[in-house]
Amino acid sequence: MKILLDVCTPVQIRNALHGHEVHTAVRVGWGQLENGDLLREAEAAGFQLLIICDKNLQHQQNLSGRRIAILELWTNHRPTLEQHFGYIRDAAESMKSGEYRSLKSPQ
């Protein structure tokens, strides 16, 4: 799966996603894009999943008709997320095209 990590998502999340093609918005040159532009660029580039920590995206963007799946993490605190890599991986791998899921803390 081709996965994009948003700018506020810790890059270490890629360690939870072995076997997948994981890029960061900053590394592909999209670090300054607004959410709507980021979504359009990501879809055009063939990304299948966007992982975010932005709790407002679903309220700020019209997500109907999107092909890219979006997984919202409950925090962007790296040490906390590192404790739950299996949980994050399972969620990422179960996402369907166009789905938006807000992942809750496993605790």
Chain segment 42-72, per-residue pLDDT in tens: 999 999 999 999 887 665 766 777 899 999 9
Q: Summarize the confidence of residues 69-83 as an average pLDDT.
A: 96
Tell me, yes or no, if the pTM score tops 0.85: yes
pLDDT higher at 107 or 50:
50
Backbone φ and ψ of 35, nearest 5°? -55, -45
With tokens 């590192």, the residue in question is: 82
43, two tokens: 């879809």
7 and 34 in contact (C-beta within 8 Å)?
Answer: no
Nearest to 50, CA basis, from 17, 81, 80: 17
Task: Express the helix, strand and coil content of the chain in percent, nearest 5 each.
Answer: 30, 20, 50
